[in-house]
Chains A and B, each alone.
Chain A
Amino acid sequence: MKGVKCLVLFGILAMTAVAHADYECSSYMDKSAKLSVYVNNITDLGDTVVVLESEDEKKTFFGTMFNEGGGLYKKQIVEFYGTNNTLTIVSQPHQCGRGTCDNFATQKILAQLKHDGSTQNFYCNEKKS
């Protein structure tokens, strides 16, 4: 059974290595740290795969995504399998104010990764379908 799970995981990793992430994020602080988020990537451990890469390491997280909001502001929370760690992705319109709101403009997307007691913030771009 363990062997099967390993195969599944390796398969997913191989797939994510070539697939385009739904979100590509860069850290505010550590320019070398990058985050790739693959939504609707269903495994035994959830529907979302998150890959964190920095100069020293590469970590992969598996979890399930929950959506809040939608019309103007959107919040997506990925709860990582078997831990209290989370990735929160928030989207809001770039340009929206008194009398002006371009609902169809590119969204400003930020992400916050909480894992092992640390918090990292990222700017993100969404893959255009």
Chain B
Amino acid sequence: MGFLGFCLNDSQEVFIASKESKTISGNPVFNKITWFSGKEKDIWMMNQSHHGARVSEDKWDRLAIVIEKTKSPKVAKFYQFKSGPLKWEEKLEEAPFKVSCFICHPNGPRVIRPNYDSPLDPTTIKDRLKVFFWNLKIKSYGRVIPHKSHTTNDKRLKPPFRWSSKYENEVLKIASCIQCHKEQGFLARGVLTRQNIPTIKFMLAAGKMPPFGFALSNEEKHQLKEFIQGF
């Protein structure tokens, strides 16, 4: 238990090549991730490079997700900051979002998926243990909703935190998927919408979804294909 606590609470960053993220030209994206736990908030910070693993600090995008733990469901606030170290302090200088966070984060922070098979994988054994335990922590949040300030701020942002049109917010309604991808109830992870398609595609292609013990019928596979195509 002491070791588990050490892994969970050690805020030394983990350096990974992402399994999911790729640059526009298909090259690996590198992430440095850490977290800080407070009484009321968990703060996940990430520096992300689309320019290789060894580039100057100003080439890294500095991002954060702050989880308000005292609320039910938990609430997540998303930030993009000017480049800098993974040190949390109030009033860090914010920068515009480079991408809409909600595309990949309809339910707060997501499981960290390093590409351990990559020849560029920089992780150590200790890093891998940390990722394992941090992922348990992330899964323990359950349903996480976006902070209401994102809706207000989106009116002046491009790209916004979340795309707002009716079409981009059409909900995936496939019976097997909505056992978990629903707003409330046991195992609720929040609904998925059309703007989450890039992530849905990755999760299907990587064999992460449907999860162990679940399967899609042929009819559901057809429905999912139509949804992903956009019809």
Contact = CB atoms under 8 A, between A and B. Distances in A.
Interface of A: 68-75, 88, 90-92, 95-103, 105, 110, 112, 121
A42 to B, nearest CB: 24
Nearest to A103: B159
Contacts of A74: 167
Contacts of B199: 97-98
Contacts, number: 93
A69 B164 CA distance: 8
Contact of B24 (A68, A70, A100, A121): A100
B230 A92 contact: yes
A69 B194 CA distance: 10
Interface in B194-211: 194-195, 197-199, 202
A105 B168 CA distance: 18
A73 B163 contact: yes
Contact of B165 (A68, A98, A100): A68
B61 A72 contact: no
Contacts of B165: 68-71, 73
B99 A100 contact: yes
A69 B202 contact: no
Contacts of B21: 97-100
11 contacts: A68-B165, A69-B165, A70-B167, A71-B168, A72-B159, A72-B163, A72-B168, A73-B194, A97-B199, A98-B18, A100-B22
